[in-house]
Structure 1
Amino acid sequence: MKFTLKSQLGAFALLFVLFSCEDSGRENPLGAYETGVLILNEGAFGANDGEIFHFDPVSGALKQNVFELENARPFAGLLEDVVEADGRLYLVANTGKVEIVNAGDFKSRGAVVGDLDQPRSLEAVEGKLFISDYGPYDASYNTPDSYVAVVTGLDGGTVKKKIAVSNKPEDLYVSGNFVLVAGSEEGKVELIDARTESVILSLDVKGQPVQFFEKGGDLWLYSFDSEKVYFQSFRMDNFALKSLKEVSLPSATSRMTIGSGNRIYILTSSGWPEYRDAVAIVNFNDNSVTPTWKTGSGFYGIGFDPERQELYVANSKGFQGNGEFVIYSEQGTELRKMEVGRGPSGFSF
């Protein structure tokens, strides 16, 4: 699972401020969930008990099961991503639905249900929703019919079209009227024209592309393979590849976050049978690597609070009951540890 909360990471940050402004200049208090940290708990397969928790880093208060609390019904899905757009939060469940809530109070605004298979992420543009989806498994558990679903209207509804893309699309990124799609299995980035709802360009990229992010005024793509990680930037006038950074980092995963300065934090995992996990730091300037800044087992998500300069690391505890998250200073000091829900996998600040 990936939790980007767009507007970075590629992700959106819920800013630690007290007020927001309308065009009229009047200041309105932010909603209860527009400050602090949102914690995505993916949930366990079969139980479909994914949920959002809210954490206040100042008081230390943790509010559980926010969706159920505010809507008097369980979320009932496996959470894959949460995306912010136009005052809405889109809760993407890879069990085949998207729930839409107000960013401030988490009250339901609508949903996309039916005719989705395994949605992964979402972007809003041109008054439409574009949802990356693995598509159904075939008899060999492959996904040859992956697509980007199109829904008219920002508050959900039915799928009007499925745009065929390369296998296992992950992150999306909007630039003007275009949607970039990271095709993880075939190593492609595809460009969709949101007006015509069609793929107009396909680029081959290094590794398995999973996440777009902005840094230094450029759009970058993070991808990985068994031995290296790759950072590829794009020209925004024609979307051609602009530059490539290759960094040796065996056992990298799809989980990464942008830290302060030139730091990029990446989770690595040896996988079965050792299950040795680590937080690695890549210096984006000189490509140097600290491969084992933190080590452990069960690392499942990562996020960086740019306001407080703190790193959050989620641990699934092997999905044997609830997971936890740990907060570290940039110097590596453990600041706080808290139990959360099942399969914590991402953060929004």
Structure 2
Amino acid sequence: MKKLKFPSLFLTGLCLSGSLLFSSCEKEPKSTPAPVAPTPPGAKGPYEHGVFVINEGNTLGAISYYNPSSKVVRKDIFQDENNRPVGQFLQSMAVHNEKAYLVAGGSKKLEIVDANTFKSIGVISGLEIPRYFITSGNKGYLTDYVTYSGNGQVNIIDLNTNTITKTITVGKLPELMAIVENKLYITNSADNFISVINLTTETAEAPITIGQGPSSLVVDANKKLWVLCGSSYGTDPGSLAQVDPVTGAVERNFPILARSASPQDLAINGQKNRLYFTLDNKIYSMGISDAALPATPLVDRGTKGFYGLGVDPQENIIYGAYAPDFSSEGKVIRYNPGGAAIDSFNVSVGPNGFVFK
């Protein structure tokens, strides 16, 4: 359920505009997972450090875990630790204060676990179509479509009591969020604006008009917002825009034209000075000061597209998620900052994103 409907509807290729050129395909070496090692003495748990892969699943989702040092891969750690699945159509995960928050959209819930042991410690249920979660202090913010045809909302959650204290209406199909200077910025993937919420007063402010279909955003080293836009079915021109969150002005806008589907999965490196996104089965990268979109892709997978993207903030290793279908295992390919494939490993069904811890 990463895009706008259930995952099987979104295994489509992405087309690139004429200004972005093709390059040759990369070979992808494989890695052999090592046996599961015991928890090191003094560690808080077996998942204290590593890479978590969010898998939507065919119906039941899963969190896979990868240890870059030992090459250990565990395909469903929530099931391993709790003897039950995490829920239907796992959409996203966030970590805050030694807790992990797992958004299971099909189960209409936010599952809370110990981030180091992955033992369940709570559930917030009664949601509608929850999508993404972000935190600030003792508050959490969860986007919820509510409906596929009308306005969505942001649920404000007290993290001390795990209760929803307020809901604020935003645009249609709200997705990812970012926080800058005590304001929350929300992408609305079926509208042409970003919603803004003042976190002090917990009230909506004037939205920021942007390109059609904003779906992902990041904050750079200069505290500027970068927003990736484009309708889910490729009916509107896509764009990558830089926004000043103080004034709401769109300072730079790079159009991404003619394609069959949208650019996706905007990510940023650990130094917050280099952007990444996927388009037409490729990964593109550009510096935040670059004057134009890149002419060639950093990674080209030919006919095999990416369903998720992440960049390790410590090592700047690029992680690409591949979902061949929604009935078989997915795959993660790791690339060095120059775009050369390092290795790959299998995960659960429908990998769509990463959390680095």
Task: Report TM bin, short chain.
Answer: 0.7 to 0.9
Of stretches 66-75 and 260-269 in structure 1, the one that deviates more from structure 2 is: 260-269
Cα displacement (A) at 1:154: 4.1
In structure 2, the CA distance between the partners of 1:97 and 1:56, relative to structure 1 (3 Å rule), is same
Q: CA deviation at 1:196?
A: 4.1
- Kindly indicate whether residue 328 of structure 2 is the aligned counterpart of residue 338 of structure 1: no
Partner of 1:106: 118
Contact 2:270 2:312 survives alignment (8 Å): no
Relative to structure 1, the CA distance from residue 333 to residue 173 in structure 2 (aligned partners, 3 Å threshold; closer, same or farther) is closer
How does 1:179-198 map onto structure 2 within 5 Å? 179-198=184-203
Q: How big is the shift at 1:221? A: 2.9
> 1:52 matched to which residue of 2?
63
Contact preservation (8 Å) 1:312, 1:328: yes
The whole-number CA distance in structure 2 between the counterparts of 1:105 and 1:75 is: 14
Aligned to 1:244: 252
CA distance in structure 2 between the partners assigned to 1:255 and 1:306 by the alignment: 16
CA contact (8 A) 1:79 1:93 kept: yes
Distance 2:279 2:70 in 1: 32
On the 8 A contact 2:220/2:226 being kept in 1, the answer is: no
8 A contact 1:281–1:291 mirrored in 2: no
Provide structure 1 residue ranges, at least 5 long, that are not aligned to the other structure. 3-27, 270-276
Normalized per residue, the structure richer in strand is 1
**Corresponding residue number in structure 2 for 1:119:** 130
TM-score in terms of structure 1 length: 0.79
Q: How does 1:1-349 map to 2 (within 5 A)?
A: 1=2, 29=43, 31-44=45-58, 47=59, 49-95=60-106, 96-114=108-126, 116-125=127-136, 127-137=138-148, 142=149, 144-154=150-160, 156-157=162-163, 159-225=164-230, 226=234, 227-236=237-246, 239-241=247-249, 243-248=251-256, 250-251=258-259, 252-259=262-269, 263-269=274-280, 277-284=281-288, 285-292=290-297, 293-295=299-301, 296-349=303-356
User: Which stretch shows the higher mean deviation, 304-313 or 32-41?
Assistant: 304-313
The DSSP-based 3-state class of the residue aligned with 1:69 is helix
Cα deviation per residue 1:241-297 (whole Å; 9 max; x = unaligned)?
Answer: 26223143654422132247754222114xxxxxxx222333432324144431232
Contact conserved, 2:225 with 2:245, CA < 8 A, in 1?
Answer: no
| Cα distance change of structure 1 residues 308 and 194 upon mapping to structure 2, 3 Å threshold | closer
SS at match of 2:292: coil
Q: Offset of 1:343 from its aligned partner?
A: 0.2
CA contact (8 A) 1:260 1:309 kept: yes
Equivalent AA in structure 1 for residue 162 of structure 2: G
Q: Distance in 2 between matches of 1:240 and 1:145?
A: 22
Contact 2:44 2:117 in 1 (8 A): no
- Deviation digits for residues 315-340 of structure 1 (CA, Å, limit 9, x no counterpart): 10122311111112233332212111
Instruction: Give a deviation string over 1:154-177, Cα, whole Å, max 9, x none.
Output: 4523x4433211111111223454
Q: 1:58 to 1:233 in 2, by over 3 A?
A: same
Instruction: Compute the displacement of 1:128 (Å).
Output: 3.2
Q: Secondary structure at the match of 2:49?
A: coil
**Closer/same/farther in 2, CA of residues 108 and 218 from structure 1, 3 Å limit:** same
Letter matched to residue 289 of structure 1: P
Deviations 1:97-153 (A, max 9, x none): 111112222222211101x1111112234633321111124xxxx2x1411123333
**Separation in 2, partners of 1:268, 1:228:** 11
Q: What RMSD in Å do the two structures reach over aligned CA positions?
A: 2.5
Distance 2:329 2:311 in 1: 22
SS at 1:146's partner residue? strand
What residue ranges of structure 2 are gaps of 5+ in the alignment?
Answer: 4-41
Q: 1:342 to 1:234 in 2, by over 3 A?
A: same
Provide the residue aligned with 1:13 in structure 2. none
Q: TM-score, normalised by structure 2?
A: 0.77
How many residue pairs are counted as aligned between the two chains?
305
Is the CA contact 2:198–2:205 (under 8 Å) kept in the aligned structure 1?
yes
| Equivalent AA in structure 2 for residue 246 of structure 1 | F
| Larger RCO, structures 1/2 (Cα 8 Å, 6+ apart) | 2
How far apart in 2 are the matches of 1:83 and 1:59? 24
Which amino acid is the alignment partner of residue 248 of structure 1? I
The 1:288–1:191 alpha-carbon spacing in structure 2 relative to 1, beyond 3 Å, is: closer
Give the C-alpha shift of residue 29 in structure 1. 4.5
SS at match of 1:245: strand
Deviation for aligned residue 1:344? 0.7
